[in-house]
Amino acid sequence: SRTIQQMVSQGKIGAPRLVRASFCFHMEEHILKKKENARLKKRGGGALLDVGCYGVSVARWMMEEDPESIQASAHFNSEGVDIHTVGVLHFRNGGLATVEASFISSLQQTYTIVGEDGSIELPHNAFIPWEKDATYLHRGRHEEIGRQIVIPGADEYRLMVEHFSDVLIHGSSPLVQIHDSIQNMRVLDALAESARSGQMVVIPEKQT
């Protein structure tokens, strides 16, 4: 994802106009009924916070700004926990993003960034660490097929632990700053509010 974000930031696909992110999987009914954190309303359980957080992070990262307003819809189980949520993020630069999170659909781990001059699509395994090589598709503005680009695989958990250790021991700057994590949570809270109220939620500009 860092490689793809650098391409977007460098203008390889022009100004980003649309991000589509989906992290869904099918959780068996007996697992859904277990009284564990991902299924408990009082602990913030639900598809949105469990797997939707990744899509929100990608959308904000690729757009390089926070959304100004949000609309969301969700299906809730008998415990009041969202098990299927879709959100639309409206950005100040005119960009849009859709975020899908589900416990009751077939496996989806994908995201696509569509720009004025091209698009980049990561067709699978976008959000789960994978040591195999990663492949994404880069298409120009008028290309139908595009070209596949391969990134060598890596142990992402190891990279995260090594970076965390480097920050603690050597004082290196963290790749993800605390204020960015807070902003991501504000967007997730707004999505949850919109899903329950059925209304658009306006997000105030970033607080400093």
Residue 28 within any structural domain of the chain: yes
Whether the CB-CB separation of 123 and 139 falls below 8 Å is answered with no
Residue 87 within any structural domain of the chain: yes
Q: Categorize the per-residue pLDDT at 114 as very low, low, confident or very high, splitting at 50, 70 and 90.
A: very high
Contacting residues for 74 by C-beta, under 8 A, at least 6 apart? 47, 48, 82, 84, 85, 86, 195, 196
Give the number of domains in the chain.
1
Q: Which DSSP category does 154 fall into?
A: -
Residue 204 within any structural domain of the chain: no
Indicate the range of 179-183, 185-189, 192-196 predicted with least confidence: 179-183
pLDDT at position 206 over 90: no
Residue 206 within any structural domain of the chain: no
Of 98 and 160, the one with more pLDDT: 98
pTM metric for this prediction: 0.88
In 14-133, DSSP assigns E strands to 16-26, 67-76, 82-91, 96-102, 104-115, 118-122
CA distance 5 to 11: 10
Residue 9 within any structural domain of the chain: yes
How does pLDDT run across 3-42, given as a tens digit for each residue? 788 888 898 999 999 999 999 998 877 676 666 666 667 7
Spatial CA neighbour of 100 closest among 61, 31, 50, 40: 50
pLDDT of residue 150: 83
Q: Which domain holds residue 10?
A: 2-198
CA distance 170 to 160: 15
Residue 88 within any structural domain of the chain: yes
Contacting residues for 68 by C-beta, under 8 A, at least 6 apart? 90, 91, 92, 202, 203, 205
Spatial CA neighbour of 203 closest among 188, 18, 48: 188
pLDDT of residue 128: 72
Residue 56 within any structural domain of the chain: yes
Residue 205 within any structural domain of the chain: no
pLDDT at position 135 over 60: yes
> What CATH number did the domain enclosing 132 receive?
3.30.360.10
Q: Categorize the per-residue pLDDT at 158 as very low, low, confident or very high, splitting at 50, 70 and 90.
A: confident
